[in-house]
Each structure stands twice: as structure tokens, then as C-alpha cells.
Amino acid sequence: MASRALQRMNIDPTILQKLTNRRLFTARDLLIATHLELVEALDITFQAAEELVLCVCNQIAPISSTVLDLHARAKLQLNHLQTQLSALDQQLRGGIPVGGITELAGSVMYIDTEKKFSSRRIVEMAKSRWPHTFHDQETIQSLTEHILVVNPDSSEALVGHIKALEASIIDHNVKLVVVDSIAALARSEFSRDKIVDRQQLLGQQAAILKSLAETFRIPVVVVNQVTAQMYAPSSHAFQGKTTSSGPAAQTQLTAALGTMWAHAVNTRLVLESVADVRFIKVAKSPAAPMAAFAYTITEAGMELLEGHTVPAQVLGSVINMHVAHEFNYEPQEMDI
Amino acid sequence: MLRPLAYLTAGARSAQHLYEKELAARKIITFCGDLDGMLGGGVATGQITEFCGVPAVGKTQLGIQLAIDVQIPAAFGGLGASAVYIDTEGSFMVERVVEIANACIRHLKKLANNDGSATRKEAASKVSRDGMLANIHFFRVRDCTEQASMLAVTQMLPSFIANHPEVKLIVIDSIAFHFRQDFQDMAQRTRVLAEMAQKLMHLAEEKDLAVVLMNQVTTKVLDNNRGSKLVPALGDSWAHAATSRVILYWQEQTRHAFLYKSPWLPAKTAEYHVTADGIRGRRPQKRPRA
């Protein structure tokens, strides 16, 4: 995870000393410089500069595999984490994929915001869903002892934790990372005029999380919020005025954190409700086209419902996708 | 006829020479007729073509389709070549490559059967799913916040290509991911990107291969409450890097492509679809029986 230090590479010691003197410490420092800059800074010939660059590149460039090799390797590994929602798992070709970021986006009714993690709820779900497995003190304890919870209180702390994840993953044999939520801290700490800084930070977080997901072949799940869309859906300049530009006519909800974040996540699952029925929608997936599944929340957690007409999916750009929030706030009778 | 002035300007080539080269440039089809038509036959070798678009519009799907289609045998008008796929996003799915490869092979066999050509039948029989998978060289660039691996791969590409001369397509999916963060100095980013583009362009021309770059979009908020527009990522100076630029976008509920930069083709749009078999065009409407 650390920047590739030139010190640790196989480089001529004289040149290495010159690099250090010129404050070129990492592979990035070296590769960002032009050959001419290196010639001047290190007082070497152009050819020597070329050779130096190639020497470093040889040591850090990723090695290729053929897709056939990837295919063979994939067969030997676990490539998905099942959600146990069978229709959803089928749509996603096995479940939440490893090696990338899966985002769950929905409004605050459905997702616990930060610091609302409940061990009691996890235990209740486990007992209800797998009563034969989690039936006594010992098994319950083995479950709760295998879930590690951290509570960063600032974006900086969050980044620190993410960077330190690599060690934790190795030490504790971690097979799933959940960030709940990725939005809360970012949105509270960065004001409207600091959006660029916020996006930089999110980009950094996304890159590290993806790298971890890929290196350790684990799923990374991040929870996102929804936000009222400030403007009518964005389109390209050449598309002309297909929809009214300017502030949005009515309050439409969309996943928070903007366009760049939408690019960064590999899979986006949106939780929404239409006419009091909850749906989980596959809004972005490299494996599957858009689809939605009705669900409900029970003691055992999320369960898919049969027999509900899925509302006609409006195909379109993920970044403009509305998150439906038609929910009746009237108190409902609870079956005791 | 003007004699070329090569002896006066060393290294210069006549426009005639370049014209012949342009006409001879081979095209990699996409399997969507309208998209191929818009591109003048397909994605051309000898240049950099950039596809940019919103998330989930089909950039990776298109990249995979091209990595398969570059392998279509010469008997079917293809290049019969191999591909390099550089993934920076982590959305590359081997299962999709398998599906798209299988669909391509089915299509070739069908064509061969329909026209009964012995050459085609033989060529189709030699194409296998495993063979196609083996012809795609995959690089996963996995930096956290630095671009060192990405830059290193670009440096190593010329020697990789020299060792694998059958490669005629390089896809970088996406060029945006690593360059949208961690550059304090935008001028430096511009220079680094420009240098990368130069290297890739040189490789495309010298080795007569197609370089395809996938780019993201960014939302540009317009002042005076006029809303926002989508623009290609990586800034205005990046706009000069690619020879041809295509924007992939949604119009109502269908996917479209818009060629808005090309050295000689007119600006044009095309409708395309992402299907289980890969990229395809509009299904012809079935005519009702009389």
C-alpha cells in the first residue's frame, strides 16, 4: 500500500544516492519526471536515464495473464459472497463479487447510519436465519468475535483506518469489509465549495478499497446515502435541452457523492420503495443488466418477496437514476 | 506529379503516403452496424480512439467486444490478431468475456454455414473459446493513489508488443481512474497525460495497432443556476490526445454513441445495445404478416 520506495529497488547505488539527494524517493517521483529532468537532476546521460526508468518499470509493472489463465484461476476460487437472496444472487451471477466495491444506496429509513451497528440485531438475524448453526453461547460468540467494528470520527481517521486495513486483513483473516457509511463523514466535513477536495478524498478511499478488494480477493461493501438532486438530470452539451435545465422541478432523490464516485463503485445496489413496497435494484453491475426485486425486513434480516409486480424499470444513466421513496409514514399495526 | 521532398526534409512523408496508409488502415468491428458505420467501418488501427461515458453505459462491454472482435479471422474480414487489456477499474468480468467469445464463435459458424465457403468453414473451425481467451493479455493496474504502475505499464508496452507482434489492439479501461486524484499540480497532470498519449500514439502508428482508451465523465456545474452538463473527464487539454473521440450516452431509454472528433469522418450518432451476446445494434422490427 505504501508508495514504492526506490531504496528497496535494484538500482545502481551511485544513482540511488543521487536520487535521494534530489528528493526523488518513490517510483512515482521518478516516473513523473521527464527523461530530460532526470538528466539534469542526476547528471547522467539521456541513455542512462532511459535505462534507469526501464529498470524501475520492470520491477513495478504488473505482469500480464491471459484471460484463459484468469478463467482457470477463477474456477479454483470463491468469487462471490452470497446474499442469500437467491433471485438477487442469481442476477449477480453468484452474489456480491469479490475484487471490487459494491455500494448499497438508499435513504435513511433503510440503512443504519454510522454508529448504529447493533450486535444484538446481528445475533437475532443469525439465530433466526440459521437456527441450527447458531444455537448456543459458543456458536454465537464465535460469530460476534469474528466481526471487528471500528468507529472513525473524522474523514481523516477513516482514511487512516482504510490504509491500515491491509494489516488487519492479514492478521485476522478478514473476508469482508463493510464501510457504513462512506458518505456520512464526507458530507458533513466538506461544504459545498469544497467539493473538489471532497471528491479527491473519496477518490483516494475508492482506490485503496479497490486495491484491497483485488489483492485479497474479498468483497468490499460500502453504504451510501441519497440526496435530493440539485439540478435536473445532467446530459451532454450536444444533447440540447431534452429536459428542463436549471433547478429540479420536484424533489428527486439520487445516490449521493456525485459522478466520480458513481464511476468508482463496480456494483451499485439501490434500495427504494414504490407504493409502500421495498425493492432492491441492480443499478450498475459489470455482470448483470438492471433488475429489481421486492423485499421485506424480518427478524432474519432481508428476505425477498414473491408475487410483487416490479415497477417498470426506467433505463438510463446511473448518475441520474432516481431513488423512489414512496413510503407511508403512518404508524402501522405490528403483529405481536 | 510532385516528387516527394523527402530528401530535403528528412523523416517527412508525403500526404500521398499518409493517404494510402489511411485508406489501408484496418478496422475492428463492434458487431453493431450503426456504430461501425459511424466509425467508418470500425475502430481503426494506427490511431487512438477514446470512448467516454457515464457509469454503466457499456464502456467495459465495448472494450471486451473489441478484444474478441480483433481476433476474427481474415477469412471473415477480420484482423486475426490478439489484444492487450489494461484494467484500472476492476469491472472486467471473465464470465462476460466467455459469453461474448461464445456468441462471436456462434456467429462466425453461422456465417460460414450460410455462404458455404470452404475457407470460412475451415477458419471458423479453428476458432475456439479457449483460444480466444488465450489471445487477450490482461494487465490489472492496481495502484492505490499513485500512478506508478500505470506509468510503468505504458513504458513497458513497446517491449511487450515487440515480444507479441500479433497484438493489434490495446484497450485501457479506464485512463481516467488513476489520474483523477492525487495530482496536486494540474499542470503536471496535463504533462504526464500528454506524454502517455504521445507514447501510445507512437506505438499505434509504428506497429499499426488500435489504441482504445475508456474515459469517464464529470459533472460540470454551470453558473447562474443553469444546471449542469456532463463533460469528458481529464480536462480540456486532454481533449487533444485522442485521434478520434466518441461519447457514449443515454437518450431516453436507449444507449447511443456520438462521434464528435475525427480527422476525416463527419459528426454522427448511432444507437447500440448491450446484450447477453455483447454489443449489438437495434433489432430489426418484425414486419407484421400481411
Q: B253 near B246, Cβ under 8 Å?
A: no
Output the CA torsion A95→A98→A100→A106 (10° steps): 30
A1 contacts chain B (CB < 8 A): yes
pLDDT tens digits for range B12-25: 778 888 888 888 88
Q: Establish if A236 touches chain B: CB-CB under 8 angstroms.
A: yes
Using the predicted structure, report yes or no on whether residue B237 has a pLDDT greater than 70. yes
A296: exposed, middle or buried (C-beta count within 10 Å: 0-12, 13-18, 19+)? exposed
Distance from the A317 Cα atom to the nearest Cα atom in chain B, whole angstroms: 6
Q: Which three cell numbers stand for residue B272?
A: 447500440
**Percent of chain B topping pLDDT 70:** 91
The CA distance from A333 to A133, in Å, is: 32
Confidence of residue A335 (pLDDT cuts 50, 70, 90): very low
- Which residues on chain B are in Cβ contact (under 8 Å) with A72? none
Instruction: Specify whether the CB–CB gap between A274 and A219 falls below 8 A.
Output: no
How far B93 CA sits from the closest chain A CA (Å)?
7
Specify the range with the lowest mean pLDDT, choosing from A37-41, A54-58, A233-237, B253-257: A233-237
Task: Measure the CA–CA gap between A3 and A60, rounded to whole angstroms.
Answer: 11
pLDDT average, residue stretch B271-281: 96
Separation of alpha carbons B174 and B62, rounded Å: 12
* A34's grid cell: 521527464
Residue of B nearest to A200 (CA): B181
Name residue B226's amino acid: R
Say how many residues make up chain A: 336
ipTM: 0.89
CB contact under 8 A, A234 and B148: no
Q: What is the pLDDT of residues A308-317, one digit of tens each?
A: 777 777 788 8
Residue the block writes with cell 483473516: A173
List Cβ neighbours of B7 (8 Å cut-off, separation of 6 or more).
none
From A78-92, B7-21, B31-45, the region with the lowest mean pLDDT: B7-21
Is it the case that residue A260 has pLDDT exceeding 80? yes
**Closest by Cβ to B253, choosing from A56, A57, A315:** A315
What is the rounded average pLDDT of the residues B138-147?
A: 78
Note the pLDDT of residue A109: 45
Cβ <8 Å between B181 and A317? no
CA A198 to the chain's CA centroid: 16
Average pLDDT estimate for A169-187: 86
pLDDT, average across residues B262-282: 93
Q: What is the mean pLDDT of residues B136-161?
A: 87
Where residue B9 falls among pLDDT bands split at 50, 70, 90?
low
**pLDDT reported for residue A110:** 39
Residue A249: closest C-alpha in chain B: B227
Q: Judged by CB atoms within 8 Å, which residues 8-47 of B form the interface with A?
A: none
Residue to test with chain A: of B86, B135, B142, most A Cβ within 10 A: B142
Contact between B274 and A74 using a beta-carbon 8 Å cutoff = no
Residue A103 has pLDDT above 90, yes or no: yes
Which candidate, B266, B177, B121, B168, places its Cα nearest to that of A261?
B177
Give the integer Cα–Cα distance in Å for A105 and B228. 22
Residue of A181 and B55 predicted with greater confidence: B55
Q: What is the pTM of this model?
A: 0.88
Mean pLDDT for B184-199 is 87
Distance from CA of A218 to the nearest CA of B (A): 12
In this prediction, residue B75 carries a pLDDT of: 94
Q: State how far the Cα of B31 lies from the Cα of B65, in Å rounded to an integer.
A: 8
pLDDT bin (cut points 50, 70, 90) of residue A249 is low
Task: Provide the CA A77 distance to its chain's centre, in angstroms.
Answer: 21
User: Chain B contacts of A57, Cβ < 8 Å?
Assistant: 151-152, 155-156
Tell me the torsion sign for CA atoms A274, A278, A282, A288. negative
| Residue B283 CB-density burial (10 A; 0-12 exposed, 13-18 middle, 19+ buried) | exposed
Q: Tell me the one-letter amino acid at A280.
A: I
Q: Indicate the pLDDT class of residue B286, thresholds 50, 70 and 90.
A: low
Chain B residues within 8 A of A28 when measuring between CB atoms: 146-148, 151
Please give the residue of chain B at the shortest CA–CA distance from A4: B148
Q: How confident is the model at residue A194 (pLDDT cuts 50, 70, 90)?
A: confident
Pairing of strands B48-53, B244-251: parallel
Q: B27-42 burial by CB neighbour count: b if 16+ within 10 A, else e? A: bbbbbbebbbebbbeb
**Residue A101 · residue A265 · CB < 8 Å:** yes
Contact B146 A3 (CB under 8 A): yes
What digits encode the pLDDT tens for the residues A2-12? 568 888 889 98
Does B164 have pLDDT greater than 50? yes
- pLDDT tens per residue across span A104-147: 987 654 333 455 678 888 899 999 999 999 989 999 998 888 88
A 141-180 → B contacts, CB under 8 A: none
